[in-house]
């Protein structure tokens, strides 16, 4: 988990007016666990991520825009070095269509994130 992501969570909580105790209670975790998440020392589970998204009223993509940028950069590098497919013609066509759609998504701007 990146430090930016942890800081974004803390800022989102502070902007919401909720205390760590409030948010920890809503998440069903201890105050210490939430403190670890906000310090970047513990990665939240998918369930906790969805809960935080609802609590803060932010889309998953906007809440985790920094991580999405890292993932997009990683995928952009990896897609160029993908091995050649040796499957049937039908599978190769489907594979290429999927890779083309992925390449387009990697160049699109992230929703809720300027400059992405």
Radius of gyration of the chain (CA): 18
35-60 pLDDT, tens digit per residue, is: 999 999 998 898 998 899 999 988 87
pLDDT at 82: 87
- Ordered domains of the chain (ranges, CATH): 3-63 (1.10.260.40), 65-107 (no CATH)
CA distances to 13, 14, 95, 98 from 63, rounded to whole Å, are 11, 14, 30, 26
Classify the phi-psi angles of 72: left when phi > 0, otherwise alpha if psi is within -120 to 50, otherwise beta: alpha
* pTM for this prediction: 0.63
With a cut of 90, say whether residue 28 has pLDDT above it.
Answer: yes
pLDDT at 115: 46
73-92 pLDDT, tens digit per residue, is: 899 999 988 888 777 776 77
pLDDT at 37: 93
With a cut of 90, say whether residue 66 has pLDDT above it.
Answer: no
Q: How far apart are CA 88 and CA 57, in angstroms?
A: 45
pLDDT at 62: 77
CA distances to 44, 92, 96, 99 from 84, rounded to whole Å, are 36, 9, 10, 12
């Amino acid at each position: 988990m990146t430090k930016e992501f942890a800081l974004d969570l803390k800022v989102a909580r502070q902007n919401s007016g909720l205390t760590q105790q409030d948010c920890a209670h809503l998440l069903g975790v201890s105050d210490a666990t939430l403190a670890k998440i906000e310090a970047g020392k513990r990665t939240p589970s998918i369930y906790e991520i969805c809960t935080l998204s609802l609590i803060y009223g932010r889309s998953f993509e906007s809440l985790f825009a920094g991580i999405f940028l890292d993932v997009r950069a990683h995928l952009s590098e990896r897609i160029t070095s993908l091995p050649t497919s040796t499957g049937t013609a039908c599978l190769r066509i489907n594979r290429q269509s999927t890779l083309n759609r992925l390449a387009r998504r990697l160049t699109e701007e992230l929703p809720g994130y300027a400059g992405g």
